[in-house]
Structure 1
Amino acid sequence: MPIKVRADLHTHTIYSDGKGEPRDVIINALDKGIRALAITDHDTFKGSLKALEFIRNNDLLSRGDFVFIVGNEVRTLNGDVLVLCSEYPGTDNVPKSIPELLDWVAENNCVAVPAHPYDVLRHGIGDRVRRYKWHAIEVFNAGGALPVFNWRAAKAARELGLPGLANSDAHVPDLVGIAHTVFEVDDLTVESVFKALLNNRVMTIAHYPGPKLIIRRLSWSIKRRIRN
């Protein structure tokens, strides 16, 4: 009997430009009813590896109601792509050319999803969503993408017949799950989540953060820029 689970597959931690530790992202996800989570720090799997360590130490997977997906938001030569993997591929040395990245993804049992593709302010890949074969498209990004950018991504996904994902793009743990995707899965495993994605058994829940959360996000962004 298929079950429906909420998934947020685009989040960040201190291992790139996020505020929280991986454990903070996981705890917030569980508190929000997110049962499939990916940490996708920029150009590194380190956040995911720390998350796996926390999950093992706290025996979270034995509960049977949570699945973690190893992720990385790769800054390609043409913009940002979410790489989601069934397990850690063993390296942060990921190709930056889109064709080479897609070959690498296939070789490592991963999926590739353009992140906020039409957001010209945040390294979207633009109409390259139409030039290459993707597994899905992020059609709603709650982390700062303007509505017109999300609308264009959703339009491209419809025209290409690709699954669409809604994600929080949370850089502050409180924002995890503010937008998410409902997956219809056979069981809570990475394989089942990927199967649901590839078969387009997904439904986006598009929601922007309210004023308080927007202020927290902007406050963190300003602090990080000053610190750097």
Structure 2
Amino acid sequence: MNVDFHVHSVFSDGKHDPEVLVNQASKMNIFIALTDHDTSRGVSRVEGKVIPGQEVTTQYGHVVILCSFPPDPPSDLTSLVDYSYQNSCILFPSHPFDVFRKGIGKKIYEFKFNAIEIYNSKAQRWANRMAETASKQLSLIGLANSDSHVKESLGSAYNYIDLDEFNVEEILEKVRKGHVYPRPRGLTITAKLKIAQWYIERKLGLEENSSRALREMQRN
């Protein structure tokens, strides 16, 4: 079984509905965790078909939590670690050394995690190498994830787990025991173009929304 533990949908800053992502991943024989930024709202749309999670924006940067239920975690990292432990969830820092995308950096050494994202398909090579070094130093399992915001980037990274059927609790237990094998692949040219296109679309959309809000304020 192949599993991508870091995927975003329209419920945060991704382009596609959760259903689209699940269908696309299924065509590639990949299961996904839905890890939108600071929300689990999209999980209900594909309940039973994804691993529920979030990419939490902590005071130090981004950390992914995966649970057997749609989590509602705190943003304080110390409290988040406690929440994860108390609810038998999995916690790992995403792109920890990517300084351009809110990685937690050296804080990785100060908190207790279950794993480390050692390959993020959008992170710089040196950042992924630093994450892999940290995983070895801390004796933590390394994960490879797409961090997909567009469906075309699914398949750029995933993890092999020796399971025949999709069962969230069994998958989390495999991660907890370190029985996970990262499969970094890399982004295709098509995926890179779609990522760039989506970035431009979002930027223009945000600017348009800001201008509209400013005009409304000026009228009042």
Q: Tell me the TM-score normalised to structure 2 length.
A: 0.90
Aligned residues: 206
Decide which of 205, 210, 214 is 2:188's aligned counterpart. 210
Decide which of 4, 7, 16 is 2:3's aligned counterpart. 7
Matches within 5 A, 1:1-228: 5-34=1-30, 36-52=31-47, 68-89=50-71, 91=72, 94-142=73-121, 144-185=122-163, 187-228=165-206
TM-fit CA distance, 1:187: 4.9
Answer with 1 or 2: which has the greater Rg: 2
- Write the distance in 2 (CA, Å) between the matches of 1:106 and 1:215: 39
State the AA in 2 paired with 1:102.
V
- Write the distance in 2 (CA, Å) between the matches of 1:185 and 1:102: 27
Q: Deviations over 1:176-217 (max 9, x none)?
A: 122101112375311211111111111111121122210111
Contact residue 74 and residue 83 of structure 1 kept, 8 A: yes
Q: Match for residue 214 of structure 2?
A: none
State the AA in 2 paired with 1:202.
V
State the AA in 2 paired with 1:78.
Y
- Write the distance in 2 (CA, Å) between the matches of 1:81 and 1:98: 8
TM-fit CA distance, 1:173: 1.1
Provide runs of 4+ in structure 1 moved above 4 Å. none
State the AA in 1 paired with 2:45.
K
Task: State the secondary structure of the residue aligned to 1:112.
Answer: strand
- Write the distance in 2 (CA, Å) between the matches of 1:141 and 1:224: 21
Contact residue 185 and residue 196 of structure 1 kept, 8 A: no
Q: Deviations over 1:129-187 (max 9, x none)?
A: 11111010011001x20000001001100111101110000000121122101112375
